[in-house]
Structure 1
């Protein structure tokens, strides 16, 4: 049961305070299909974003199943999005370098489901929305209508209390729009479905309730509902979301494979770092008979190699952060925490570092440059990975601190 009580949302634009929502009071039934209509900038999307925790209300209270969100921490909002809310946002928010099945499974990975169970649940829900033989396809190989169905499947796979749909039929042809709406209508028989739409005909045909907004206020409700006594229910889905290192590595590896040319070039340049570390260790071990002048030149060369490696990895990760802003938004929308976003980009750093070390080893052994014992190479690898992680540390922090609400809104 979802209740919005006197919800106010204010934004600051320069020196001006703008009220997007001016005291919204709506009680939703546990199962109904509600269409939110209104002119542009009336507060429709803002209200949806508040319901799903992508934006935080200024005052008032939002509660679901008797639990107030007024004092929610960031971690509780993450768990709320992952466990209680299913999102169907505009622009077909799927991760482009992941398969259809991986996109749908990701929500279950965050909530800690076992591999077999999450695979079975993901396949079941995909079949339910009519995606049967395209589990391993990438989103860019599918039609708009198919992508819409996948976003519905991802929204439903964790059995949420509320399904949020922002313009679910936008840009679709009539036949596909009807199929999508029929799916949403069926879902609304046992779940609350809230959708924003500008299509009055669609709303009238499929909705059980139409709410109109104007200038941040509710001006019409075709089937109002008021809770007399709200009875808190025990929340069975309060598990905190958490991403494993393996999941983070998988996301980053697939992203790097999708741009393998750039990844190889970055790793090749960064391989100079391990060569520099090996050279410094060789000189410091006293195993060479080079003169002091030659030693100094080698040290300068080694330091330059380390700097080049640091800059190449740091720049690569930062560019990756800029290029994956939509993905960050998607991950945050399904409950991935900021610390897990940090983990994802550290995982990318580790992969690039590993590949650069392999390339560096091949160069060293191929040219027969250094002769060092195995224990020394273990030290070199450890030092190299630490250097790589240092290079990716600041870009990873930038990624974790990104405003995911703006990323979703503007992507």
Structure 2
């Protein structure tokens, strides 16, 4: 038996943890039966701790809700030993420490010395090669300490025992080798080891706990703390339900916001014009340098900023055919505008006059009207055209967005619809261009508007 003693903080427990594979050394080497541990992996250290080393702690570290035989069996669970053999090993270890008649008691029914004996039985049950004792008598009285030391001394006949203590007298009385520590250094050693080329006789034994045994231990632990488990499960359920409710409300609110935005934006249709202008292009095309350049003997041809920001869309018949086949779920109502001058005629005060669908001032020159129409067309603004519904079951654009004031909903491509704003007003120029003699703020009865007919004259005629 080798005993390390010294004041607190001298490094005794650290050395014990390194030997037991709990801590890792930075320099040097730990050699076990000629086997270096420098290249040990974590799985190697686990196998070493499970089968080659036993631990005896100052505070016993027994599980209070298990019987003492169950505590001893717990120490050899990781060996993969069958249940019957495991039970026999535990009884044998408890008999060796003199507690055979107490195997069914709980730790709280034992004295301090008896609990330390249980800890010793747990450490030796798996028959380890090395037994590490971290102040095994630190929490015991003098008489009980001597009993425990005699027990450890008898066990040392079969295996190496490394013990840490504060008591140098105890170390000298029972140990065959004593090492005095201070500030992480060895001050004295009664039987120093001389390194030799020792043959490697160490073999790692790899074992693991059975799946069924792990489930059984988990279930036993749950059943011994039923109310704690119930309360923990209840609190966890509340947290999970709360998170689910918050996520559901958040998802619901987001869907409602998306739906509201979709309905609001649906009133502002997407317009694809022949000529489009990039409104943000002017801010992105600013020259970094406004300084005058030197005369280099040449000029550079360059488009104006307006020309650079203008894009011409290739709206071909193939593109129009593609739009007609679009999924109604994306866009169900599509209108088409073509830049064609229609020869429209209508009776005005008993005379046949030419009329037009336009909001331009009828008293302005034709050139001004054409320029205004071209400017409006360049940004996708033009005379309103009744949209074509791709799928009738998904609803009518007019019926969903407008209220019928008089007459009936259009059923043919030649039916015309006069659209007012929410105050029942119509642009005066639009009415004048349709042949109505009106002045500002004049009121027209619906019956004067409903039923008015127009004729189209072919250009060939």
TM-score by length of 1: 0.56
2:22 maps to 1:58: no
CA distance in 2, matches of 1:303, 1:161: 54
2:130 maps to 1:148: no
2:35 maps to 1:41: no
CA distance in 1, matches of 2:46, 2:65: 23
Q: 1:270/1:45 Cα in 2 relative to 1: closer, same or farther (>3 Å)?
A: closer
Poorly superposed stretches of 4+, deviation over 6 Å: 269-274
Map of 1:253 onto structure 2: 219
What is the deviation of 1:257?
2.6
Q: CA contact under 8 A between 2:180 and 2:186: conserved in structure 1?
A: yes
Map of 1:116 onto structure 2: 84
CA distance in 2, matches of 1:171, 1:302: 48
CA distance in 1, matches of 2:38, 2:220: 38
Q: 1:272/1:166 Cα in 2 relative to 1: closer, same or farther (>3 Å)?
A: closer
- 1:203 pairs, out of 160, 164, 171, with 171
- 2:100 pairs, out of 106, 109, 132, with 132
Map of 2:309 onto structure 1: none
Map of 1:102 onto structure 2: 70
CA distance in 2, matches of 1:209, 1:254: 43
Residue aligned with 1:164, SS: strand
Deviation sequence 1:30-56 (CA, Å, 0-9, x none): xxx111011111111100000001100
2:57 maps to 1:83: no
CA distance in 1, matches of 2:238, 2:140: 51
Map of 2:140 onto structure 1: 172
What is the deviation of 1:247?
2.4
Deviation sequence 1:237-275 (CA, Å, 0-9, x none): x2323223322223322322332222233445677899x
Runs of 5+ unmatched residues, structure 2 = 249-461
CA distance in 1, matches of 2:80, 2:247: 39
Which structure: greater helix fraction? Answer: 1
Q: 1:43/1:303 Cα in 2 relative to 1: closer, same or farther (>3 Å)?
A: closer
Deviation sequence 1:157-215 (CA, Å, 0-9, x none): 11111110010111211221111101111111221111001112211211111100111
Runs of 5+ unmatched residues, structure 1 = 1-32, 277-300, 308-411
Q: 1:142/1:304 Cα in 2 relative to 1: closer, same or farther (>3 Å)?
A: farther
2:64 maps to 1:74: no
Q: CA contact under 8 A between 1:126 and 1:150: conserved in structure 2?
A: yes
Q: CA contact under 8 A between 2:52 and 2:129: conserved in structure 1?
A: yes
What is the deviation of 1:92?
1.2
- 2:209 pairs, out of 243, 264, 289, with 243
Residue aligned with 1:150, SS: helix
Q: CA contact under 8 A between 1:78 and 1:241: conserved in structure 2?
A: no
CA distance in 2, matches of 1:50, 1:267: 39
Q: 1:218/1:259 Cα in 2 relative to 1: closer, same or farther (>3 Å)?
A: same
Map of 1:183 onto structure 2: 151
Q: 1:266/1:218 Cα in 2 relative to 1: closer, same or farther (>3 Å)?
A: closer
CA distance in 1, matches of 2:247, 2:234: 13
Equivalent positions of 1:6-405 (< 5 A) are 33-235=1-203, 238-267=204-233, 303-304=244-245
How many pairs does the alignment contain?
Answer: 248
What is the deviation of 1:135?
1.7
CA distance in 1, matches of 2:24, 2:187: 23
CA distance in 2, matches of 1:48, 1:149: 20
Which protein has greater RCO, CA pairs closer than 8 Å, 6+ apart? 1
